[in-house]
Chains A and B, each alone.
Chain A
């Protein structure tokens, strides 16, 4: 069933009796050509592009819970391509271009809203660094512009421009950045994949991998053995747990990142704003709630909830930037599990097991990468070679000294 304005009107006139479930709930078959482990944004996008762009068939997505129940439903919904390094920026710009055409492509309203993102500047050194980053973005086909203090003031007059420690001197702006309705991304990809014959199998946890003579034969699951020629794992947050079934130790630690929503307020933040010096970023949802966050808690965790010191730290960052939110009440906080990699960049690569592929290590930046991650992973699965924008996301970059470390922090995942 195609969605359209005409369809909405037709259904409204006939009592909304024509809407059908958006995807099937199939039982697993004995064997598939491709199994994607993980029914989150990246896994569903992989299945969708595998079927649509790479014309593959006999595909299943295995999800231990329900579709879109992990990080794709727990993030702060920001899209952008404002990276510096050569290994990253072409990939994220590819992703942003896919976001721009996504809703027409999968015929689903994902509320892609390019409302602009600014990164605040407080010192001359920071302005130099952001100018360099902006130039890096432009060189790779993205948009970037430097705003001076007055231009930032015109956008957000209520910011604390004369903060003693971090006075606002300007910002790096990417106008094509913005926000997307995160759940709808998972649903749109799920529906698009299902329409093309992909089996989306929920409540099906992978409990083991059958590997014979160095080749994957299939996966053991809570719903029995399922055979496969190729298996792609996209379970960021739980990557170490799943890849341990193949005897792998990963350059990844799992950490908890918290996110926050305030009560609904009248619109006053049009775009996305990051206050890196204060460990705080914010946007305002269409319902009016301030959606914001800060640093990861900093210790290994699989708990999907964090602790109070970070909540206090994030609230302090928000107050330092926008004293006006002091009376706003915090409505909800929650946590998600991040694959924190050793250089802060992701991995999309083959493994030592033939037919087993890995996609993970997204740190806290996985949401914006969803379309390109799916596309590039599907490319790798279908063609056995990396997509041209994802050639740097290899496992062996740590052994070869080819890290993609945007922040230059070294092998200390809780600092990325």
Chain B
């Protein structure tokens, strides 16, 4: 698979480490969310067959985190964003 890095251009997926569903960026607030919400966040997954937004870390590159939208049935990569931009668009400060 070739991941089209927004800054570095097309890079081999071997340079990246895979973490999982991009929803992992939305960790519940530890002070207010209950144990059920944390359990759901940590252990349960949508695991779709089709478009999947997921976190890839460019470990052997610029050490950036990317949100890659990829079809899990065909492995086609549909969209690549900087995770930082996604987080800021979602209202986070960094």
Contact = CB atoms under 8 A, between A and B. Distances in A.
B73 A414 contact: no
B39 A300 contact: no
Contacts, number: 68
B8 interface: no
B45 A240 contact: yes
Contact of B13 (A250, A301, A307, A411): A307
Interface in B63-78: 70, 72-75
Interface string A278-318: 00000000000000000000111111000101000000000
Given A240-B46, A303-B75, A249 B40 contact: yes
A180 to B, nearest CB: 29
Nearest to B49: A302
Given A300-B52, A301-B72, A253 B20 contact: yes
B43 A302 contact: no
Give the interface SS of chain A, mostly helix, strand, loop or mixed.
Answer: mixed
Interface residues of A, number: 24
Nearest to A339: B47
A342 interface: yes
Contacts of B19: 412
A342 B18 contact: no
Interface in B10-53: 12-14, 18-21, 35-36, 39-40, 42-49, 52
Contact of B73 (A252, A298, A303): A303
Given A254-B72, A307-B75, A398-B39, A300 B44 contact: no
Contacts of B7: none
Contacts of B13: 299, 307, 309
A411 B20 CA distance: 11
Nearest to B73: A302
Categorize the interface residue count of chain B: 20 to 34
Give the interface SS of chain B, mostly helix, strand, loop or mixed.
Answer: mixed
B73 to A, nearest CB: 5
A352 B21 CA distance: 25
B1 interface: yes
Contact of B72 (A252, A298, A303, A342): A303
A307 B75 CA distance: 10
A404 B67 CA distance: 30
A215 interface: no
A253 B24 CA distance: 13
A414 B20 contact: yes
A241 B73 CA distance: 13
A251 B72 contact: no
A300 B43 contact: no
Contact of B14 (A300, A309, A342): A309
Interface of A: 238, 240-241, 249-254, 298-303, 307, 309, 342, 398-399, 411-414
